[in-house]
Structure 1
Amino acid sequence: MTEKMTLAVIYGSARQGRFCDTVTSWLIRELSSSDIFSLTIIDPLRFRSARGDKAGDLGEWMERKVGEADAFIVVTPEYNHGYPAALKELIDSVYEPWHAKPVAFVSYGGASGGIRAVEQLRQVFGELHSVTLRDGVILAKAWSKFDAAGNLYKPEEVQASLFLMMDRLTWWARTLKSARKATPYNEIAA
């Protein structure tokens, strides 16, 4: 049996009462039985609560979390036609650990489903030498798609997009992990 790769699921919102919890909980349930990935969570609220009154170092925490991951799924809302500041803070806290790793997106929001936020994030991750996937999950008017327990009313409408995204994320994760092992990315232009 092949060793599992690590997939980091990143919460894109730190707002109180965030809908990100509903969307990410659904995603984690869908991915929890994976034979390919073990999941790790990167949540700005989890970091803030873990450090308490102590001055925790976001950079050290993210260095470890991002460094251990082979692939990422960013769950992002769209706030005012962009992605949240808390997500930008997480991303910008480290640089090299993002290199040569794939990033997929699950976005949600109003009528656009968060696609403007994703388009902006593609530019950011390009600067970090990450590979972003074209295929993702877009949840337009997301609050109308989930019941009070956090279950999708029509899961089949979203699962096809999720399965395609995961197939492609798996391919990129395997390919880039193998490439990083053969030649560390930081040695290419050294």
Structure 2
Amino acid sequence: MSEQPLKLAVIIGSTRSGRFGPTAAEWFGAQARSRTEVSVDVIDLAQTWLPDVLPGDDATEQPGPVAELSPWLAGADAFVLVTPEYNHSFPAPLKNAIDWFYEEWQAKPVGYVSYGGLAGGTRAVEALRPVLNELHAVSMRTSVSFPNYPDTFGTAGTPANEERYAKVAHGMLDELVWWGEALRAQRERRAYPAGAAE
């Protein structure tokens, strides 16, 4: 089994002006970076410029932004999607980013950090789970959610009752590391047998 740190890609799923996503991603990234078994990259979809029109089946080349992002996703051993909740689901740019790729997601664990009103973005997470399942990824049972996030975070960039949130974040990281190491070892041993995308 590889002893290299697990490569964790934290993806900021909102591109909306004034979004809270970077704050949540920065806080969670700090939690992850405190662990020696994880290395962290943050991918901000607002800076990837992925096109919102997908090509037909006869396309022979990827658009430049897709080709640039692909190695980052392919090289990741695990993902954390940072998402708000829009209309009981997750934002369109995040779905667009997911749909541009296929093999990059396969046989890798996915965790979720969500934020919103009273529900804390949990309905967005529940909408994401079957999408990632279809891509042969493995969703973690534990997720981090920030209800009423402007009050939870205030202006400090860290949540009130940070100890509680850190405990949940590290619980999810424990799951990600376990699954990430197991799936990485198996991918190195044998290619994942997923069928063609539909």
Cα distance in 1 between the residues matched to 2:172 and 2:92: 25
> Any unmatched runs of 5+ in structure 1?
50-55
Q: Distance in 1 between matches of 2:19 and 2:132?
A: 24
1:172 maps to 2:194? no
Judge conservation of contact 1:58–1:93 (CA < 8 Å) in 2.
no
User: Do 2:114 and 2:121's aligned partners in 1 also have CA atoms closer than 8 Å?
Assistant: yes
Match of 1:88 among 88, 95, 99: 95
Q: Where does 1:78-117 land on structure 2 (aligned, <5 Å)? A: 78-117=85-124
Which runs of structure 2 are paired with 1:5-16 in the superposition (5 Å)? 5-16=6-17
- Which aligned pairs between 1:1-190 and structure 2 lie closer than 5 A? 2-48=3-49, 57-186=64-193
Q: CA deviation at 1:147?
A: 2.8
Identity across aligned pairs (percent)? 40
Q: Structure 1 length normalisation: TM-score?
A: 0.90
**Gaps (5+ residues) in structure 2?**
51-62
The residue identity in structure 1 corresponding to 2:98 is I
Q: In the TM superposition, what whole-angstrom CA distance separates every residue of 1:16-66 from its partner, at most 9, and x where no partner exists?
A: 1101121111111222232111111221112139xxxxxx62321232111
**Normalized against structure 2, the TM-score is what?**
0.87
Does structure 2 conserve the Cα–Cα contact (< 8 Å) formed by 1:6 and 1:69? yes
Q: Which residue type is aligned with residue 81 of structure 1?
A: H
Q: How big is the shift at 1:5?
A: 1.6
Shift of 1:189: 6.1
The answer to whether the 8 A contact 1:58-1:90 is kept is no
Which of structure 1's runs of 4+ aligned residues deviate more than 3 A?
none
Aligned-partner Cα distance in 1 for 2:6–2:34: 13
CA shift, 1:77, in A, is: 0.5
Give the superposition deviation at 1:152.
1.5
Please state whether the residue corresponding to 1:48 is helix, strand or coil.
Answer: coil
Match for residue 52 of structure 1?
A: none
RMSD value, Cα: 2.0
* Deviation of the 1:170 alpha carbon: 0.4
Q: How many residues align?
A: 184
Query: Is the 1:99–1:130 contact (alpha carbons within 8 Å) kept by the matching residues of 2?
Result: yes
- Farther off after superposition, 168-177 or 141-150: 141-150
